[in-house]
Structure 1
Amino acid sequence: MRVPVEWLRSVVELPAEATTEEIADRLTMYDLKLEEIVGGGITGPLTVGRVLAVQPEKQKNGKTINWCRVDVGPERNEPSVPDAPGDDVPSRGIVCGAHNFGVGDLVVVSLPGTHLPELGFEIGSRKTYGHVSDGMICSTRELGLPDDETSAAGILVLEPGSATPGDDAVTVLGLGDQTLDLEVNPDRAYALSLRGVGRDAALAFDVPFADPADRPVPSADTPAYPVRVEDPEGCPVFTALVVSGVDPTAPTPAWMARRITDAGMRSISLTVDVSNYVMLELGQPNHCYDRDRLQGDVVVRRAREGERLARRRPRAGAGGRGPRGRAAGRAGRRHPRAGRDRGGRGAGPRRRARAGRPPGADQRRADRARGGPAHVRAQRLHGRARR
């Protein structure tokens, strides 16, 4: 169970001075063993910048890059970058290959000396495409953030007015937040939710616990969509609630998407994210139906003999079977019977050794079946011809 510490603090009044390590130690005393602490690994000058000028430049390889002038705040700007586009004002010159941003946009800039765990190395100032790129304009993936419709194409563009050039991007985006990865025993299923872990944390620190489930709910007499339960023994309770006024095309709030991602799930869409958020916080599985697409009552029953669950056809390259029954696995993966994945012929020496066979064993076996290595067979044929 992944528990974002920031989310945990929203349901438990933990002492402000309590560190993540101390919280983990206290929870371990309540039999919630810590596997690892995730996140909070960004170091160095990660700052908010404003794009002042963008100059597209076509390269010999056919790629178009953007040579940009970016304002990163008075304390971090260089006094002059004469070869950058636009007016020569204090700023930084940065080369960027993405195209989903423009002049005036607020972006996140990784200046030289910044270490991003998602990349695994420290950003430096280097010459590329004929310019000295003095930093990097960051994407969501490089920052470990979930994508949305605005950032999936490349750079993370911040909301106008949400920050100013020079602001600490780690603070603005909550990138310093850490997550506890806890091992939950089968008899502690309540701890598979923020509510359950929060209750134990409140006991461990002897502090008040604000139960997220303690809130007004609609009356049982409230009109809802009709549900028919045909197996009351298997499903004694099925609760339905109609929620109206929701725009399913609206983006998920950034804070919610961040919490869901930190908890180990992927942000998908507003309705799906709200459903998953409730499940993670309360530990109650639930599902959202599109009322316009429902036909008749929602029926809860056992499967009948011969019935099969319908499933979507997988996207090309997303696993499963493709046209005509051909395997359509993910790029970079081989069928489990392929030789390379089992240490067979074509695999490297280390993989073959791990598979229990020394390097060259498969080749020697094949040579014996053919009557020896190729150069030995050639010598034998040559000798026969001479005789």
Structure 2
Amino acid sequence: MRAPVSWLREFVEIPADQDGRAIAEKLIHTGLEVETVESLGAGVVGPLVVGKVVSIEELTEFKKPIRWCQVDVGTANGGIRGVICGARNFVQEDLVVVALPGTELPGGFKIAQRETYGKVSDGMICSASELGLGDNHDGIMILAAHEVIGIDAKPIVGVGEEILDIAVTPDRGYALSIRGIARELSIAYGVAFADPGLALADLPAPVATSKPVECGSDDETGCALFTLRTIRGFNPKAESPSWMTKRLVASGMRPVSLAVDVTNYVMLELGQPLHAFDIDKLQGTIRAGHVADGATLETLDHVVRNLNADDLVILDDRGPIGLAGTMGGFATEIDDDTTSIALEAAHFDDGAIARMARRHKLSSEASRRFERGVDRVLAPYASARAAALLLEFGGGDYVGMTAVEAPYEPTVVALKASEPGAIAGMEIAQSTVVALLEAIGCEIDASSDVLQVQVPSWRSDITDAVNLVEEVIRLVGYDEVPSTLPTSAVGHGLSLGQRL
């Protein structure tokens, strides 16, 4: 999980003097494994500006496609410059990131005016990978249309942003989100935490002229909660805001379109995977369930998959339209003409998703989260957040939500207040035990020395008292646990086994 420090600061008041490495030390102290702390684009030196592609000439006399581009980088930067570029993912009028002559890119690559392919290239149009912002090699970066030509592009694309790269173990699924990491930091720094996962976004009243898409679940064990929010009149040409695309790139994701970007953004922020369907490509009720052996589904990666009766899939009245919690189907995907969206947010069984992902040799950002356990009650909150963002930046009418849910009872674990201290071999006061467990979100009845601990919905890994003991000890600090060498009785010398 790649976590931009500036994003974490939005949810927890980290002291201003704490840089990425200091924050990483705090997380390591709580038991999370921070592999690296990096500064995006650390090797970028010199002028990096916003440019507008004025014209493109295709040079066809070479073995590979080459384009001769006229790019306006602003009067202060020399006006229109000719730049050679091999990327194909941009068109005339697009705003791009241009490294001017004199700029040095990561790896010591220096930009200079040079003759190439029979032209004099006066700069370089950059991709995210060339700027050291991520591993995306799919093409150059396209900026939002509202950016100003000629201004410094570094803060727009996130050059200088500190990123924590955290290796999340299977029992820490909550840490696959900014929300989960911010909660750990609030404990580490002893500051308040306002949980964004419990804040229901304000949405307009549903319009009365249309009905939301119906949903259901044929397998309440595999899918205990299924929600669909419907939006009509969405503008498919609307662009993602630059702050959103910058965070997606910093987190290792490629911006695609507003609808896709919003679902990815909310997943990273709250930890709830979502999927957007094109309503005009659906038929009937959307539900989670199973199909017979031999059914097929073409997923978004254009692979036709042979389904198994044990696979948990998403269906409409015609058949399977997605692998639940793993990947959507190609036939119902959002495209450049989508104006009506059904936004799915659900809770799927971790074991069912893990088995299906391995059966199809298909691992996705969504499946990795569901396998580790997603917050049981988060789906409607996350979908409200996503719907609010879609309406804000893409317009349209909110039609409403449909949902089905199996009964849910929170896990309650009995814990002797003295047990964490007894196992750690040190004194841990009951008040400390209660405070630390409340900090991770537990609700506690401390009316006796046997605590009744209600486990929060986002901690499916806590099922027994020993899990609570581990939580207390890790938050007290493993370095606080005393280390004592075992001693043998005086005067007895070596044991029989040792003498042999």
Report the TM-score when normalising by structure 1. 0.61
1:294 maps to a residue whose letter is L
Establish whether residue 289 from structure 1 lines up as the match of residue 282 from structure 2.
no
SS in 2 for 1:36: strand
Q: In the TM superposition, what are the counterparts of 1:194-343 in structure 2 within 5 Å?
A: 194-216=178-200, 224-301=212-289, 303-312=290-299
Identity among equivalent positions (%) equals 37
2:6 maps to a residue whose letter is E
Matched length: 295
Establish whether residue 41 from structure 1 lines up as the match of residue 28 from structure 2.
no
Establish whether residue 188 from structure 1 lines up as the match of residue 172 from structure 2.
yes
The counterpart of 2:100, out of the listed 104, 108, 111, is 111
Q: In the TM superposition, what are the counterparts of 1:20-99 in structure 2 within 5 Å?
A: 20-38=20-38, 39-48=40-49, 61=62, 66=68, 74=76, 95-97=83-85
Establish whether residue 175 from structure 1 lines up as the match of residue 159 from structure 2.
yes
C-alpha separation between the residues in 2 aligned to 1:111 and 1:28?
Answer: 40
Contact 1:42 1:114 in 2 (8 A): no
Query: For the structure 1 residues 308 and 266, does the alpha-carbon distance in structure 2 shift closer, same or farther, using more than 3 Å as the test?
Result: farther
RMSD: 4.2
Contact 2:143 2:242 in 1 (8 A): no
Q: Which residue in 1 is equivalent to 2:18?
A: 18
Contact 1:230 1:299 in 2 (8 A): yes
Q: Which residue in 2 is equivalent to 1:163?
A: 148
SS in 2 for 1:296: coil
Query: For the structure 1 residues 33 and 128, does the alpha-carbon distance in structure 2 shift closer, same or farther, using more than 3 Å as the test?
Result: same
Contact 1:112 1:122 in 2 (8 A): no
CA-to-aligned-CA distance 1:87-106 (integer Å, 9 cap, x gap): xxx6796542469677x986
CA-to-aligned-CA distance 1:128-171 (integer Å, 9 cap, x gap): 147765543434553356999xx98x765655663353x43212
The counterpart of 1:142, out of the listed 112, 130, 134, is 130
1:123 maps to a residue whose letter is K
SS in 2 for 1:195: helix
C-alpha separation between the residues in 1 aligned to 2:288 and 2:60?
Answer: 60
Structure 1 residue 194: deviation in Å?
1.0
SS in 2 for 1:280: helix
1:162 maps to a residue whose letter is E
Structure 1 residue 5: deviation in Å?
1.8
Query: For the structure 1 residues 235 and 16, does the alpha-carbon distance in structure 2 shift closer, same or farther, using more than 3 Å as the test?
Result: same
Structure 1 residue 249: deviation in Å?
4.0
C-alpha separation between the residues in 2 aligned to 1:127 and 1:225?
Answer: 57
CA-to-aligned-CA distance 1:64-112 (integer Å, 9 cap, x gap): 76486865675xx6xxxxxxxxxxxx6796542469677x986533234
Structure 1 residue 3: deviation in Å?
1.1
Contact 2:216 2:288 in 1 (8 A): yes
Query: For the structure 1 residues 210 and 113, does the alpha-carbon distance in structure 2 shift closer, same or farther, using more than 3 Å as the test?
Result: farther
C-alpha separation between the residues in 2 aligned to 1:111 and 1:96?
Answer: 13
C-alpha separation between the residues in 2 aligned to 1:160 and 1:66?
Answer: 22
C-alpha separation between the residues in 1 aligned to 2:110 and 2:304?
Answer: 35
Structure 1 residue 28: deviation in Å?
0.8
Structure 1 residue 45: deviation in Å?
0.8
Contact 2:297 2:304 in 1 (8 A): no
C-alpha separation between the residues in 1 aligned to 2:238 and 2:48?
Answer: 28
2:115 maps to a residue whose letter is T
C-alpha separation between the residues in 2 aligned to 1:69 and 1:217?
Answer: 41
C-alpha separation between the residues in 2 aligned to 1:273 and 1:67?
Answer: 28
C-alpha separation between the residues in 1 aligned to 2:85 and 2:169?
Answer: 47
CA-to-aligned-CA distance 1:308-338 (integer Å, 9 cap, x gap): 44124966xx999xxxxxxxxxxxxxxxxxx
Establish whether residue 123 from structure 1 lines up as the match of residue 90 from structure 2.
no
2:49 maps to a residue whose letter is V
1:280 maps to a residue whose letter is L
Structure 1 residue 25: deviation in Å?
0.9
Listed as ranges, the gaps of 5+ residues in structure 1 are 78-89, 321-387
C-alpha separation between the residues in 2 aligned to 1:53 and 1:299?
Answer: 48
CA-to-aligned-CA distance 1:231-274 (integer Å, 9 cap, x gap): 22333322232233422343333322232232233333322222
Report the TM-score when normalising by structure 2. 0.49
Structure 1 residue 191: deviation in Å?
0.9
Structure 1 residue 50: deviation in Å?
5.6
Contact 2:156 2:246 in 1 (8 A): no
Contact 2:144 2:239 in 1 (8 A): no
Structure 1 residue 8: deviation in Å?
1.6
Listed as ranges, the gaps of 5+ residues in structure 2 are 306-500
C-alpha separation between the residues in 2 aligned to 1:195 and 1:123?
Answer: 39
Structure 1 residue 201: deviation in Å?
1.2
Higher strand share: 2
2:153 maps to a residue whose letter is A
Structure 1 residue 200: deviation in Å?
0.8
